[in-house]
Amino acid sequence: MIDFNSLAHMNFGRSDPLLMLFGEDDAVAAASYPSTDKSTHSPIEPEPEYLDAARSGQISVGWALVDGERRWTAYVPVALGSGSRSVFAVSLTKSPVAGLRDELITNHIMVIAALSLLVLGVGYVVTRTITKRIMRLRDGAVEIGNGNLSFRIEESANDEMGTLAREFNLMSDRLTEQNSQLEEANRDLEHRVSERTEKLQQANVQLMEAQIQLVRTEKFGALGESSAGVAHDLRNLLGAIRNGIYFLKSRLAKSSELSAEPKVVEYLKVMDERITQCDKIIQDLISFTRISTPVYSSVTLIEVLESTLDGVETPGGISVIRDYGGTDVHAQAGPFQLLRVFTNLIANANEAMLEGGELTVAVRSVGPSAEVAITDTGPGISPEGLEKIFEPLYTTKIQGTGLGLSVCQQVIAKHNGSLAVHSKVGFGTTFTVSLPLFAASNQPLQPGG
């Protein structure tokens, strides 16, 4: 049986190594501290996992906290006479050999560090003298490489490094001169290329416009010749049909038997309406081939637009917005031909708004021109449709001839004006008529070709 009171004397009063005995409650039952100093020591805190391993019969090496210091500690199971399972532990700080080793290592490190600092100091003094001028040359080469040809390297001596610095400066001067000559030649070349390109672009645009105009002229000429003959023949045939309808209506009014047939009356009415539509198509063909030269006068655009709006039936659900700007705008034009153009444009706008919308008619003066803008809130026109919209016979209407807008464009061209269209699918369409403003001192314009 171990005498707990004598354990403190087993290590002759030393704390390194420290001998400890732990009871079953993990508390220190005895330690090798001198008995007179126990009150001055902090509690000993073993690692529970190593105590548990020792109680299970294993010898384990781990740690224990002694006086706030973490020490290597060996844990050994001990069976006391009373049958309790205690643990005997030996705790060490470090051995004298390890301390000597650490001291030698520290001394070697200090000697090596001192020698290294000495070598570095000597090397720094030597290399600084040699490399400082080389670094100047390198910096100069970098600056010149980055395009800073005005950079100069200090020529401080007549040795090889000084000669190299002078050659660098001479090279920089030559590069500056050559670069200036190259920039001047480049500017001159760019100017020449720009002039030639601009002339080429202008010539190309003129050529394309001439080709388009030639194709259009040929198309108009061929269409005009054929339209005139077709219109004449169709009018003769339709005249005979209309006379027949008139005769049938006369007989129908006198015959009670025929009057009792509602289908006969309905068919005659439909035939008469279709003949009227054919007359309109023929009139469009004739108008397309016979656009008269305008007789110029001072035309108040607001009056012509109001006359047009009065003559065109506005369907229900369409509201008309007038944006006249509060000032009369006078154009130099033929009033009857303008009335015809505005009627066509407003009728097209109304037809585009089958479910209702807003028809906006705006008048303004822009510089030397008068502008009339007719805008609808219909479905808009696709980019493909905009490219063909002024071509003869192009139409998206079931009963359209495709000549209305083409005729309008030719009429406005005769007035030395222009007809433009702007549209976006889902946002409506705007047709803009541009005409010369009228001034009392103006000489009458020559009609456009």
Q: Could you tell me the sign of the dihedral formed by the alpha carbons of 277, 405, 344, 335, in that order? A: negative
Q: Could you tell me the sign of the dihedral formed by the alpha carbons of 314, 319, 323, 327, in that order? A: positive
- 293-436: CATH number: 3.30.565.10
Of 14, 50, 44, residue with least CA distance to 30: 44
Task: Kindly provide the residue ranges of all beta strands, DSSP E only, lying in 367-439, ordered along the sequence.
Answer: 369-376, 418-423, 429-436
pTM, to two decimals: 0.45
Q: How far apart are CA 404 and CA 348, in angstroms?
A: 9
DSSP bridge partners of 82: none
Q: Residue 104 has which token pair?
A: 């030698």
Could you tell me the residue ranges of all domains in the chain?
4-93, 293-436
DSSP state letter for 234: H
Are the C-beta atoms of residues 363 and 412 closer than 8 Å to each other?
A: no
Q: How far apart are CA 154 and CA 314, in angstroms?
A: 89
pLDDT at 284: 66
Are the C-beta atoms of residues 384 and 445 closer than 8 Å to each other?
A: no
User: What is the architecture, at CATH level 2, of domain 4-93?
Assistant: 2-Layer Sandwich (3.30)
Task: Kindly provide the residue ranges of all beta strands, DSSP E only, lying in 223-368, ordered along the sequence.
Answer: 297-300, 318-323, 330-333, 357-366
All residues at 6 or more sequence positions from 284 whose CB lies less than 8 Å from its CB, including other chains: 401, 403, 404, 407
Residue 19 belongs to what H/E stretch?
Answer: strand 18-22
Are the C-beta atoms of residues 360 and 325 closer than 8 Å to each other?
A: no
Are the C-beta atoms of residues 91 and 66 closer than 8 Å to each other?
A: yes
How many helical (H) and strand (E) elements, i.e. helices and strands, does the chain have? 9, 13
**Taking every pair of C-alpha atoms in the chain, what is the biggest distance, in angstroms?**
157
Does 294 sit behind a cis peptide bond, omega within 30 degrees of 0 on the bond before it? Answer: no
pLDDT at 357: 92
Q: How far apart are CA 235 and CA 54, in angstroms?
A: 127
Listing DSSP states for 251-281 in one string gives HHHH-HHHHT-HHHHHHHHHHHHHHHHHHHH
pLDDT at 13: 44
pLDDT at 147: 74
Q: Residue 46 has which token pair?
A: 């073993």
pLDDT tens for the 449 residues of the chain, in order: 444 444 444 444 445 678 888 888 888 888 876 544 555 555 788 888 988 888 888 888 888 888 778 888 899 998 776 667 788 998 887 655 456 667 788 888 999 998 888 888 888 876 776 677 777 777 777 777 777 777 777 766 676 777 777 777 788 888 888 888 888 888 889 989 988 988 888 888 888 877 876 776 666 666 666 666 777 777 788 888 888 887 877 777 776 665 556 777 787 788 888 888 777 777 766 666 666 677 778 889 999 999 999 988 888 889 999 999 878 889 988 888 889 899 989 998 998 898 889 999 999 988 889 999 999 999 998 988 888 888 877 777 766 667 778 888 888 888 889 999 999 998 999 999 999 988 754 444 454 55
All residues at 6 or more sequence positions from 437 whose CB lies less than 8 Å from its CB, including other chains: 329, 330, 331, 332, 365, 368, 369, 370
Of 58, 49, 1, 10, residue with least CA distance to 33: 10
Question: Residues for the chain: how many in total?
Answer: 449
